[in-house]
Chains A and B, each alone.
Chain A
């Protein structure tokens, strides 16, 4: 199984709502990632979890709250979002990078398309 599964595929939420995005992998990967992607732009790294601990937070606003409850699951809790937060949210997983960044590939989910109204 080389899949990263993201749910839901589409989400529409109001600015006062609280919602969660979910990501699951069963490849035994110990690194998991959240990315945000706006139209015609590259994916923008938000968070990295290594061994279920937050290792990178790219100065993401606190209205985005990640959680890694176990080695297979990654959540992104959303609260009080703004319309400009509408984007494709991608989850990925990989083995931990060896020194130099090799020798492992990352697997990406198909994303959750989020619309904030």
Chain B
């Protein structure tokens, strides 16, 4: 399975944009990039996904580089409720596999 690499932690000021990087240099041509987050003591929650083009929804934006070897999740106006662990994942259709890496622990500070 293609692997992802994320910084272990980052801080962000409330109201500012949070930019979360993810490296996936071994991604194959048809693999999607997914982002989930897990707020303390809750189950993970889907945020957004993309293949090649940039994507935006009500929660976040996803920027994928042209060579698809990295991506950035953008939380446009971080709030205290965005404090969570954010996971960048490449699901595998082989066996329907959804594997979590280390993630980035984001702390939004007032």
A residues with a Cβ closer than 8 A to B are 4, 31, 33, 35, 42-45, 48, 50, 55-56, 88, 90, 92, 94, 96-103, 105-111
Contacts and interface: CB of A to CB of B under 8 A. Distances in A.
A56 B30 contact: no
Contacts of B49: 102-103, 105
22 contacts: A33-B98, A42-B85, A42-B101, A42-B102, A43-B38, A43-B100, A44-B100, A45-B97, A48-B98, A97-B96, A100-B51, A101-B90, A102-B30, A102-B32, A102-B51, A103-B32, A103-B49, A105-B46, A108-B45, A110-B42, A110-B43, A111-B42
A31 B29 CA distance: 24
Interface residues of B, number: 31
B1 to A, nearest CB: 9
Nearest to B44: A108
A45 B90 CA distance: 14
Interface of B: 28-32, 34, 36, 38, 41-46, 49, 51, 85, 87, 90-93, 95-103
Contacts of B38: 43
B31 A107 contact: no
A100 B94 CA distance: 9
Contact of A108 (B29, B43, B96, B103): B43
**Cβ-closest 3 pairs across A and B:** A100-B30, A108-B43, A101-B91
Contacts of B92: 97, 101
A110 B40 CA distance: 11
B87 A42 contact: yes
B31 A100 contact: yes
A106 B46 contact: yes
A48 B87 contact: no
A43 B10 CA distance: 20
